[in-house]
Structure 1
Amino acid sequence: MAITRFAPSPTGYLHIGGLRTALYNYLWARKTGGEFKLRIEDTDMARNSEDALKAILQAFEWVGLDYDGEVEYQSKRMDIYKGYIQKLLDEDKAYYCYMSKEELDALRESQTAAGLTPRYDGRYRDFKGTPPSDISPVIRIKAPQEGEICFIDGVKSDMVFSCDQVDDFIIARSDGTPIYNFVVVIDDHLMGITEVLRGDDHLTNTAKQIVIYEALGFNVPKFYHIPMINNPEGKKLSKRDGATDVMEYKNLGYLPEALLNFLVRLGWSHGDQEIFSMEEMLTLFDPNNINKSSSCYNAEKLLWLNAHYIKNKPNQELAEILKFYDCEIHGHDKVEMILDLCKERAGTMLELKNSIELIINTPSSYDETGVNKFINEDIVKILEIYAKMIMDYEGELHLACDYETITKPFIAQYALKMPQLFQPIRLALTGSTQAPSVYDIMAILGKNEVLKRIYTAIEKKFS
């Protein structure tokens, strides 16, 4: 039974890399019958954003990643952290360091000049003298000075850090506020976290955190460090590549199940399978099978997945989702026909909305390129004859096949190629040459509306 967590900082919006981390933690906790917890790491008061915090919580609600218990806020736990810092001081496992900024800078310069990696030299580790009165001390932990810090990473296998790579690092600033690596350990211990899945940019932090775990006598959780998501060129993902606010994906017309399906495959796989329902993810996901190498963001794959989920989503659900995009079609008497037609061509909900509105809204203008290519005096005359044929037809004209039945002989009679008739009709009915099947559009609009739009286009001369 795994108890996992996701711990974003509200200094910026939740990006897809963070959402992938949250998803992996969620899947593993749920699969093992454990718990998935949400913690907000908001100790950086100067950079915290209320809007960013709301966006993080909104993103979780939108994608449906439910968490156990209440959200934990680090800013409300300062007394707890300070209590553990005092415990380390009392047990001589931490100490006050009175080194001034000037001394620290000089030490770093001399070490760099000697070709050494800059690190604190421990000069106040066993200090017994009189503290300088003009220095507000930081608090440092007594890190082991020899040996190795080892752990088995679920992704990267055996990890070994020589103790000479970890100095007596700061656990509390001069104003008394604890630093990130310290509060993370306290929180994970008190929240009962058994497994930590996070980006491999935290790998160097893990050695320091193990020092704190061991100093406090806490059990060390199992770590899985997940390789980063890169852009197609193999570089760090930028906002231009897709590293944008998760809620922006909703605004752009992506479905949450498509985004989650896309993210679960960015670093994990199950054979050649590409489509995963949430139930399949919960059944199949195992963090021990996370790829060791970085994954590559593929916008075309995300669009393909989104189109798949749009096509396979029940129409009533699509109609409900469309309300967010200011497209209300619940009351339309042909809502099923409209959605069956338009969702076959839609990559995003915005594309679906645009396709629907091309049909249900009377065009106020006509695509200039299409008009120049397909409209001339001869075609206008053909359209007039075609419209009169529809008007005079006394049979049933309700289904797409009804319009096909009367149109095919017309095309043959006037020796037309299909685009010669269909593109002008598309322009007349929708204002565009990119609309779906003409027969289906006509069936949706009905005979009277079809005639009205064709005659209006002719009257306006498609301008």
Structure 2
Amino acid sequence: MNNNIRVRYAPSPTGHPHVGNIRTALFNWLFARHEGGKFLVRIEDTDQARYVEGSVEAILGGLRWLGMDWDEGPEKGGDYGPYFQSQRLEKYQAAAEKLIAGGHAYRCYCSSERLEEMRAAQTAAKQPPGYDRHCRDKCEITPEGITPVVRFRVPLKGRTVFNDLIRGEVSFENALLDDFILLKSDGFPTYHLANIVDDHDMRISHVIRGEEWVSSAPRHVLLYQALGYEPPLYAHLPMILGTDRSKLSKRHGAVSIMDYEEQGYLPETMVNFLALLGWSLDDKTEIMDVKQIIDNFSIERISKTGAIFNVEKLDWMNGSYIRALTLDEFTDRARPFLEAGVPESRAFDRDYIKSALALVQERVKKLGEFRDQPEMTRFFFIENLEYEPIELLGKKMTAASTRTALERSLERLEKLGDFTVESMEADLRSLAEELELKPGQLFGSLRVAFTGLIVSPPLFQTMIVLGREQCLKRLREAVSKSWKLPE
């Protein structure tokens, strides 16, 4: 085990975790597990105005659903806690004072009104926005009624350079950086200060995060230098894009990881799919279990280019994982969704439910289909079907020929001694030939009679699950309805 490898997932509790955020967590977790290191969870809750009740539970629940266990953090503890930033304020304040004492930071007393006027003037002059360093070299005489913020004293010349494990050398002109805030007037740190102090204190070896943080990296490098800390290694992950190559957003579909759980995607599907958003084993392997991904995961295999979030591919992958489940596994996972869509199913025993689900496992892409499209399986669990008589009418058949076909089918099935797929199919195919019908014409009418649907699972297997008595009862009802067909 490489105890020197320590990575972290540091979400803000401002809502449910979205897929981009979780993808970042996954890559950190995979790297830690591949290297035999530690995966930490740290809650960055210093932005109290944006805090959303229940977010921490949703974040941890999302990790648990995906099987991403953490070594240190909430519910686990560890040697470098607390793991909530709101409980670490003294550490940030001490770091800010150290930076001030070393000449790397200063107190800024600019009022909000002055800052608004400054921004308006910059906008009017078509200048890039940024603090004008008004307080940078002034004597610190506290204006009445103003609690200062602490700003970092960015070098006015030179370049800040760091090596990105994915992108190579990255360089920024210091002159393009403004004197950013480290400590707000309420005593809470900004992200820039807090994450540096925490990553140092928690011995983080690698910071693996989204590419939107590349522009912040020079600030962080400068802070590490000013505090005298050894910086971690950086790896900025490619952005996740929609199929139109724009940044992933709600218009591309669900963006919260909990939405995908709610829709009935399997957690192993999501791990596989998210792992391929920016990383790959080769140019052909798509389906991989988590062990295979961990065994092969490396930062060197991460792409620089944006990763496309393709829902069609996700659905295909989820369908593949569903078909790979044993029938018992499929039944256990599908049953909560089935009972939500078809409450009547609760009255049936597990063996009956399992036999019904066996007929649809090959067709299902998401378990949520059982809840959102209950007609797919409801006919297995209700006593009386609801459909219009006209639906019984076979293709290119008249009311009379449809009625005759149903009546003769009832006669055949009532006399059939062996109620098996083979015997029913042979007998009814023979009947279709006698009636000078194509098998599809007869079977279409029978499908509606037994299920109330034009499209259903395989006809004869469905009849086996329903059982002889239920099939005969439904066929008698269909014959009765056929007399209402217009001649």
Q: TM-score, normalised by structure 2?
A: 0.88
Q: Which deviations, in whole Å up to 9, do the C-alpha atoms of 1:235-261 show, x marking residues without a partner?
A: 222213124221121221211111222
Q: For structure 1, which segment, 191-200 or 94-103, has the greater mean C-alpha deviation from structure 2 after superposition?
A: 94-103
Corresponding position: 1:364 with 2:375: no
Q: 1:454 to 1:203 in 2, by over 3 A?
A: same
8 Å Cα contact 2:389-2:481 kept in structure 1: no
Corresponding position: 1:341 with 2:370: no
Q: 1:299 to 1:264 in 2, by over 3 A?
A: same
Cα displacement (A) at 1:309: 0.8
Corresponding position: 1:6 with 2:9: yes
**Structure 1: which amino acid aligns with 2:258?**
M
Distance 1:224 1:182 in 2: 19
Q: How does 1:307-456 map to 2 (within 5 A)?
A: 307-327=319-339, 331-352=349-370, 354=374, 355-366=376-387, 370-371=391-392, 374=395, 376-394=399-417, 396-398=418-420, 400-456=421-477
Q: Which deviations, in whole Å up to 9, do the C-alpha atoms of 1:249-293 show, x marking residues without a partner?
A: 122121111122221112222221111111111112222222211
Aligned partner of residue 351 in structure 2, secondary structure: coil
Aligned partner of residue 106 in structure 2, secondary structure: strand
Cα displacement (A) at 1:369: 7.6
**Structure 1: which amino acid aligns with 2:359?**
L
Equivalent residue number for residue 99 of structure 1:
110
Q: Which deviations, in whole Å up to 9, do the C-alpha atoms of 1:119-166 show, x marking residues without a partner?
A: 334343333363433432111122222221111112222110111122
Equivalent residue number for residue 73 of structure 2:
70
The percent identity for this pair of structures is 34
Q: How does 1:143-162 map to 2 (within 5 A)?
A: 143-162=154-173
Corresponding position: 1:27 with 2:48: no
8 Å Cα contact 2:238-2:303 kept in structure 1: yes
8 Å Cα contact 2:403-2:479 kept in structure 1: yes
Distance 2:279 2:362 in 1: 29
Aligned with residue 141 of structure 2, among 112, 130, 149: 130
Equivalent residue number for residue 267 of structure 2:
256
Q: 1:457 to 1:77 in 2, by over 3 A?
A: farther
Corresponding position: 1:59 with 2:26: no
8 Å Cα contact 1:14-1:55 kept in structure 2: yes
Corresponding position: 1:226 with 2:229: no
Q: Which deviations, in whole Å up to 9, do the C-alpha atoms of 1:64-120 show, x marking residues without a partner?
A: 111112322212221222122222223332211123334434544555566543333
Q: For structure 1, which segment, 140-149 or 15-24, has the greater mean C-alpha deviation from structure 2 after superposition?
A: 140-149
Equivalent residue number for residue 176 of structure 1:
187
Distance 1:421 1:190 in 2: 75
8 Å Cα contact 2:89-2:187 kept in structure 1: no
Equivalent residue number for residue 244 of structure 1:
255
RMSD: 2.4
8 Å Cα contact 2:394-2:445 kept in structure 1: no
Corresponding position: 1:79 with 2:109: no
Aligned partner of residue 196 in structure 2, secondary structure: helix
Aligned partner of residue 444 in structure 1, secondary structure: helix
Distance 1:317 1:368 in 2: 38
Q: 1:8 to 1:358 in 2, by over 3 A?
A: farther
8 Å Cα contact 2:9-2:41 kept in structure 1: yes
8 Å Cα contact 1:363-1:431 kept in structure 2: no
Corresponding position: 1:88 with 2:99: yes
Q: TM-score, normalised by structure 1?
A: 0.92
Q: Which deviations, in whole Å up to 9, do the C-alpha atoms of 1:5-57 show, x marking residues without a partner?
A: 11221112111111211111111111110111112211122221123332222
Q: For structure 1, which segment, 82-91 or 184-193, has the greater mean C-alpha deviation from structure 2 after superposition?
A: 82-91
Distance 1:345 1:178 in 2: 52
Gaps of 5+ in 1: none
Equivalent residue number for residue 78 of structure 2:
none
**Structure 2: which amino acid aligns with 1:435?**
S
8 Å Cα contact 1:363-1:430 kept in structure 2: no
Cα displacement (A) at 1:410: 2.1
Gaps of 5+ in 2: 75-82, 340-344
Distance 1:204 1:87 in 2: 25
Q: For structure 1, which segment, 317-326 or 338-347, has the greater mean C-alpha deviation from structure 2 after superposition?
A: 317-326
Equivalent residue number for residue 292 of structure 1:
304
Distance 1:362 1:88 in 2: 76
